[in-house]
Chains A and B, each alone.
Chain A
Amino acid sequence: MTETTGNLHVMNRAALTKRLVGALNNREAVIGGIGNSNWDLWGAGQRPENFYMLGSMGLAAPIAMGVAIAQPKRRVFALEGDGSLLMQLGCLSTIAAQAVKNLAVIVWDNGIYQITGGQGTPAATARTDIVAIARASGIASAAWAADEAEFDALVAKALATDGPHVIGVKIDNEPGRSQTDRDPIRFRESFMKAMAQPA
């Protein structure tokens, strides 16, 4: 795993989301953040254990934390954009404070608000290192994935070891490849039904 941002390959969110979903074999929950994080999760195959958030930008990690606390035996992933996480950085301290072992937060970092026209984030301008923020917030298992192989290894680690884990990924600016339906009641019902099944 990689400690700094100096030597990171720029990867593709849709492709990596497929790699993540392909590694899940035990009804792991995946909470998709607003917009593109969600859409590429949708495009990777519509598992009932996926929850597609609508408008509450920044809350993918807190929602995932709630699922993880309620079900300590299930592994839970949050997929969050860098701009989204910037809105709710405090949640990293909350996650660290509760030492949520079965939680992993994947941060797709392209340095832009892709969905609103590609404006740069203040973090990109300031060269803010989001993984370093996670580590400084008290999440020891926080690392950048330098390439696809390292991403796979970090996902495997998140599936096999105690967290909380944060995985940072530098991604390109390709928009989400598909869009979710907008049917919150159906999403919630199917997610709850899936969460009622043992992990």
Chain B
Amino acid sequence: MSSVAEAAPTWHGILRQAFKDNDIRLVTYVPDNVLRPVIEGCHADPFFTTFPCAREEEAVGIVTGANMAGMRGVVLMQTSGFATLPNALASLPVAFQVPVVMVVSERGTMGEFNPGQAIVCRTMRPILDSMGIEHHTMSRLDEAAFVADRTIRQAFATRWPACLIISPLLSGGRK
């Protein structure tokens, strides 16, 4: 019996575990403050190949290529970065049916101070819906493992991109 108390689960630890459980080894990102613990956790874990990209589109291209060559990957980004993606998503992973998993930290809601972020946030779900990309918003710690694992699992099983949106209710958001 260990004398060290088990650390309380965190949303980012749960997310990282869901990547592992689904054999996602490639983690690409455009940096984001809220996602920092996920990014740092993946960098620190040799299971993952983790690196930043200059643009979100580029990351979608890399993960699409890797997936077709047998390596599963994820793209981490913030809301405004997602808004740069519609053409790349429509013409690449959606048209070719490649399960690119996206994780977006949600900005622009619940106390946003930047009007641009607030407006761009409203475009995110309609864009996903219009392409038939399944998305789930993670807002509760007790549901996080189930939502993350099942969303990712379904993406690979059905060969379709999917998106996990990290709500400020879960992450605490940008302070």
Contacts and interface: CB of A to CB of B under 8 A. Distances in A.
Interface of A: 29, 31, 51, 53-56, 58-71, 74, 88, 90-91, 93-94, 97-98, 184-185, 187-188, 191-192, 195-196
B135 interface: no
A195 B54 contact: no
A183 to B, nearest CB: 10
B70 A188 contact: no
A187 B61 CA distance: 16
A62 B58 contact: yes
Given A67-B69, A70-B26, A184-B95, A56 B57 contact: yes
Contacts, number: 120
Contact of B88 (A31, A56, A74): A56
A192 B92 contact: no
B75 to A, nearest CB: 11
Contact of B68 (A59, A62, A91, A192): A192
A51 B70 CA distance: 15
B71 interface: yes
B120 interface: no
Given A62-B62, A67-B66, A94 B49 contact: no
Contacts of A192: 68-69
Contacts of A94: 51-54, 58, 62
Chain A interface main SS type: helix
Given A54-B91, A54-B95, A97-B51, A188 B68 contact: yes
A67 B71 CA distance: 8
A51 B58 contact: no
B64 A66 contact: yes
Interface string B59-81: 11111111111110100000000
A56 B49 contact: no
A65 B52 CA distance: 13
Contact of B51 (A68, A90, A98): A98
Interface string B87-110: 110111001111000000000000
Please indicate which of the listed interface residues B69, B91, B96 has the most CB atoms of chain A within 10 Å of its own CB.
B69
A55 B61 contact: no
B90 to A, nearest CB: 7
A92 B60 CA distance: 15
A191 B60 CA distance: 18
B53 A70 contact: no
A184 B51 CA distance: 28
Contacts of B91: 54-56
A184 B87 CA distance: 15
Nearest to B25: A70
Given A58-B57, A94-B58, A69 B66 contact: yes
Nearest to A29: B69
A94 B58 CA distance: 9
Nearest to B55: A90
Interface in B6-57: 26, 49, 51-55, 57
